[in-house]
Amino acid sequence: MNKQSIILFFILQVIVAHAQVLNTHLITIDTTWSSDTVKIYQDIVISNGATLQIDPGVYVEFQGNFSLDVYGKILGFGNPNDSIVFSVIDHTAIDDTSSLQGGWGGIRLFTNSSDTSSFRYCRFSYGKAVVPSETWDNPNNENNKGGAVYLNGYAHLVISNSTFYHNRANYSGGGINIQNCISIKLLNNTFKYNIVYSDGGGGFIKSCNHSLVSENLFVWNEAFAHLPNNYIAGSGGGLSLHSNSTVVNNRFFNNNSVSGTLYFSTFRSFIYNNLIANNMGPGLLVDVWYNGNTKLINNTIVNNLGYDPVGGIYFFSKRVIMRNNIVYGNEFFQTWHEPIQVFNPYPNGDKADFAYSCNPDEPIYYEGEGNITSDPLFVNPTAGAGPEYDGLSADWSLQSNSPCINSGTPDTTGLLLPELDLADNPRIFGNRIDMGAYENQHVWVKINDSPAFADQIKVYPNPGTNRIMVQLSENTQEAWIELLDGTGQRVLLESVYSNLCLFTPT
């Protein structure tokens, strides 16, 4: 009996030693949290000049709706095998906005003109920013903003390889709310099941000098509210941007919002290589400020289901350049009007610059050359439009016989294209850029098909993939055939003595 008691006592001592309960609400010196679990029973404040570092594997457990307020610096560096977790002890009431129960108060970064806080490989879940005593539609109360992370007046923030799951706020930024910063970088994060009533289900960014949103996944987030008289509202189901931003290589699936899965109202932004599929509401809503300059390049916006006839792109200004986009298969959830892919409700005689893109609409609201209306021929798309279908599990790359291959703009000067497509393959493969977010990597460069050359040699199919037939003129006695791939590398060099040859390069 005594031996068993000693063993039990030892086990209890080990468990207690790996949990830390904070006895102070104020951090004034550099501090490291390294215990397995850190339990928080009150609001914690990191003073200006102090740094809190959180080690990999730490579980930060809030015992109620308490916040971590940062005036100094916070560094949460997990790793791929040992992430840092921020959560609440009991999330049962997370969706009850009449109560603070069910969520913690979030990480809240305030006035700091020079520091950089950073998180990588962290999990933020069940953050809750609500004010039970007032309605959700108060834009002036910061306690209604930023379920897991709220920033206002802080210099720099970097969040990478992290997950925001089931956080909520009343007004804006279900996952994160960032405003009045010098720079914000969101890199390779996942935003899932975050909810807000007004603006930015996954995230909201406003009034920041530099915003980079790259390689993130936004799935099943929501910015949606029922209003009196059967009205509905909400913008940016996945992400809402009110700052000049670069948004590149992101994916948006199955989000819900009346005014755009990706919403942006900016002066100058670059929207490249994004995939927006099977969301409820239009894929993209663009409101470019007067004399602004925004580029939408190589995006795939497909199979979204609009609350009104527009399921693809809503734009409110001609000050937007659209190139190499696929806007296809977007539908309207009712039947009294045909779906519209690209729409400007206030054209005033101005048309957007929409060129070298795939869109079945008549060009009423835009003008430009090189547009096609054919089926883009994705490898394995979803069977229909809207969140009923799982856009994430589909394959939105292009079949090798897609009309979108080598059909983008022949002149990419000034487009500031990224080097890689959404699958991290070379952005230009072949003699010309493709339409859409994915660059086909199997179609080789076309052989010169000018009229003068066509009398001497024929190549079919052209472009070709794994089998190419070359037909030379009948009086050919000997010829050398050299084939190059899209990167300029030789894939075949062969001497031929016949005027009809079949090649299967490897």
DSSP string, 414-480: TS---SB-TTSSBS--SSSPPSSS---SSPPPPP---HHHHTTEEEESSS-SS-EEEEE-TT---EE
pTM, two decimals, is 0.86
Q: Kind and range of the H or E element at 483? A: strand 479-484
423 and 292 in one domain? Answer: yes
297 and 356 in one domain? Answer: yes
| In-domain check, residue 188 | no
Q: Any idea what DSSP says for residue 403? A: T
467 and 341 in one domain? Answer: no
417 and 306 in one domain? Answer: yes
| In-domain check, residue 383 | yes
Q: Are 37 and 58 in contact (CB under 8 A)?
A: yes
- Residues 6 or more apart whose CB falls under 8 angstroms from that of 399 comprise 377, 378, 379
479 and 387 in one domain? Answer: no
289 and 420 in one domain? Answer: yes
Q: Kind and range of the H or E element at 284? A: strand 284-288
The per-residue b/e assignment along 165-200, b for 16 or more CB within 10 angstroms, e otherwise, is bbbbbbbbbbbbbbbebeebbbeebbbbbbbbbbbb
Report how far residue 344's alpha carbon sits from residue 364's, in angstroms, rounded to the nearest whole number: 9
Report how far residue 418's alpha carbon sits from residue 273's, in angstroms, rounded to the nearest whole number: 9
Domain of residue 351 covers 244-442
Residue 303 falls in which region: left (phi positive, over 0), alpha (psi -120 to 50) or beta? left
Q: Kind and range of the H or E element at 248? A: strand 245-248
| In-domain check, residue 406 | yes
435 and 457 in one domain? Answer: no
494 and 348 in one domain? Answer: no
262 and 383 in one domain? Answer: yes
Q: Which residue has the tokens 């899965």?
A: 261
Half-sphere exposure of 414 (CA within 13 A, CB side): 8
Other CB atoms within a 10 A radius of the CB of residue 17 amount to: 10
| In-domain check, residue 80 | no
Distances 305 to 56, 340, 374, 418, 498 between C-alpha atoms, Å: 41, 11, 20, 29, 55
Q: Each residue's pLDDT tens digit in the chain (506 positions)? A: 444 443 333 333 444 446 787 767 999 999 999 999 999 999 999 999 999 999 999 999 999 999 999 999 999 999 999 999 999 999 999 999 999 999 999 999 999 999 999 999 999 999 999 999 888 888 889 999 999 999 999 999 999 999 999 999 999 999 999 999 999 999 999 999 999 999 999 999 999 999 999 999 999 999 999 888 888 889 999 999 999 999 999 999 999 999 999 999 988 899 999 999 999 999 998 887 666 788 999 999 999 999 988 899 988 776 788 999 999 999 997 777 788 898 877 666 566 788 999 998 876 667 789 999 999 999 999 999 999 999 999 999 999 899 999 999 999 998 989 999 999 999 998 778 999 999 998 865 455 555 545 556 666 665 565 666 676 666 666 666 666 655 555 566 676 666 666 666 55
377 and 350 in one domain? Answer: yes
Report how far residue 36's alpha carbon sits from residue 73's, in angstroms, rounded to the nearest whole number: 21
Strand 275-277 to 51-54 pairing: unpaired
- Structure tokens, 231: 């009205």
Q: Kind and range of the H or E element at 118? A: strand 112-120
Q: Which pLDDT value is given to residue 161?
A: 99
Q: Any idea what DSSP says for residue 289? A: P
- Number of domains observed in the structure of the chain: 2
407 and 262 in one domain? Answer: yes
Strand partners for 302: 277, 328
Nearest C-alpha neighbor of 502 from the set 466, 453, 450? 466
Phi, psi dihedrals of residue 143, rounded to the nearest 5°? -75, -5
Question: What is the arrangement of strands in the sheet containing 300-302, beginning at the earlier edge strand?
Answer: 19-21, 37-40, 59-62, 84-88, 122-125, 163-165, 190-192, 217-219, 251-253, 275-277, 300-302, 326-328
Q: Any idea what DSSP says for residue 254? A: S
Other CB atoms within a 10 A radius of the CB of residue 123 amount to: 18
Nearest C-alpha neighbor of 168 from the set 108, 105, 110? 105
Nearest C-alpha neighbor of 276 from the set 256, 298, 302, 295? 302
Q: Are 287 and 311 in contact (CB under 8 A)?
A: no
| In-domain check, residue 467 | yes
420 and 287 in one domain? Answer: yes
Q: Which of 442, 467, 482 is the last residue of a domain?
A: 442
Q: What is the CA radius of gyration of the chain?
A: 27
Q: Are 26 and 49 in contact (CB under 8 A)?
A: no
Q: Kind and range of the H or E element at 129? A: strand 128-129
Report how far residue 126's alpha carbon sits from residue 168's, in angstroms, rounded to the nearest whole number: 7
Report how far residue 426's alpha carbon sits from residue 412's, in angstroms, rounded to the nearest whole number: 14
- Residues 6 or more apart whose CB falls under 8 angstroms from that of 454 comprise none
| In-domain check, residue 128 | no
Q: Which residue has the tokens 């602004």?
A: 292
| In-domain check, residue 97 | no
| In-domain check, residue 408 | yes
Q: Which of 418, 442, 466 is the last residue of a domain?
A: 442
Q: Which pLDDT value is given to residue 175?
A: 99
Q: Are 129 and 168 in contact (CB under 8 A)?
A: yes
Q: Which of 419, 442, 465 is the last residue of a domain?
A: 442
